[in-house]
Amino acid sequence: MSASASAKAISAAANLPGFSASPMTIAFSQSSPSAVLNVNFGGAAPAWNLSIAPSNRETSWLSASALSGTGSVQITLTANPASLAVGAYYAFVNVQAPGALPQFITIPVSFVVGAADSISIGGVVNAASFQNVAAPGMVLSVFGTGLAPGVSVASSLPLPISLVGVTATVNGVTAPLRYVSSGQINLDIPYETGAGWAVVGINNNGNVAAFTFYVSESAPGIFAGGGNTLVPNSSGKRGDTLLAFITGQGDISPALYTGRTASSTTPLANLPSPTLPVSITVGGITAKIAFLGIPSGLVETPQINFVVPANAPLGNQPVVVSVGGVPSPPVMLTITQ
């Protein structure tokens, strides 16, 4: 009976028409305030409906020429800058078609008010691994041109929200800054950023650029030195307790405001640590974690004290940290004996 019901469900799903939308991301500016969204179905013409999220005054700048219909269609999306201050804005267009597969498609939309030819964002990466991945609370490196009028480095905690007139947001939430220059900005993704599409906005003294990227629950990267070696120790012996520093761990508990550090009086057991399970391997061998947390003085960069396994292979070996089952790219550690 159960197998029959399952077979019927699979058969019914197989008969549903395919559903696609293009483009899969949309970027508006004041000079280009409209775009066409193509909604396509293969074969049949099921009913669909469109909504804009989050549904509040922050997304009232975005409108659609149709909110429901049947079958394939071209929908005009229009951005209206009236009453908006200079900055980067975001929204999500959700198209739902219960009679198709998939049943739901989300298109991230960005709108830049104050766009200028002098500023652009070319890409974003994990600041430790330099991979095109991201997670809440991660240190994010933003690369581009004209991002700041000069070089400035955060010199105190909590991290500042402005450096030399430069500010940043992720999905409309202010992002603390670590470093700014014309070609690179290092910022912390706010913990409020959920998994899914996100829009980072950089405001260089009134000139604004935005970039859409994807945020996962975790995206770990290990900070490394020259030659992709573990820091602060590039070598060690079996049985040694060494340190690793990561970012991209995702949510932490107890929670901290993004850009802030734990109090110096916080007991070790109460320091913030990743909510997802963390493991570390050396040369493919699981290592014992002696300490995991974000000590006072560190921000969004958990410290891992690990014991080099007694059976770790000698020589140059990869160290990998996994958070929530997601492995980091390896960094190298030389096991001497």
Q: Based on the fold, state whether residues 93 and 130 are members of the same structural domain.
A: no
Q: Based on the fold, state whether residues 22 and 40 are members of the same structural domain.
A: yes
First to last CA, the chain: 61
Last residue of a domain, one of 113, 132, 154: 113
Number of domains composing the chain: 3
Query: What CATH number does the domain containing 273 carry?
Result: 2.60.40
Residue spans of the chain under pLDDT 70: 1-14, 56-58
**CA 213 to mean position of chain CA atoms:** 7
Other C-beta atoms lying within 10 Å of the C-beta of residue 198: 25
Range of the domain at 260: 221-335
Res 146: pLDDT: 98
Q: Based on the fold, state whether residues 210 and 230 are members of the same structural domain.
A: no
Q: Based on the fold, state whether residues 68 and 136 are members of the same structural domain.
A: no
Res 178: pLDDT: 98
Res 6: pLDDT: 46
Res 8: pLDDT: 46
Q: Based on the fold, state whether residues 105 and 150 are members of the same structural domain.
A: no
Q: Based on the fold, state whether residues 103 and 51 are members of the same structural domain.
A: yes
Q: Based on the fold, state whether residues 144 and 79 are members of the same structural domain.
A: no
Q: Based on the fold, state whether residues 251 and 197 are members of the same structural domain.
A: no
Last residue of a domain, one of 113, 141, 175: 113
Res 59: pLDDT: 78
Q: Based on the fold, state whether residues 163 and 147 are members of the same structural domain.
A: yes
Res 14: pLDDT: 59
**pTM, rounded to two decimals:** 0.90
Last residue of a domain, one of 113, 142, 161: 113
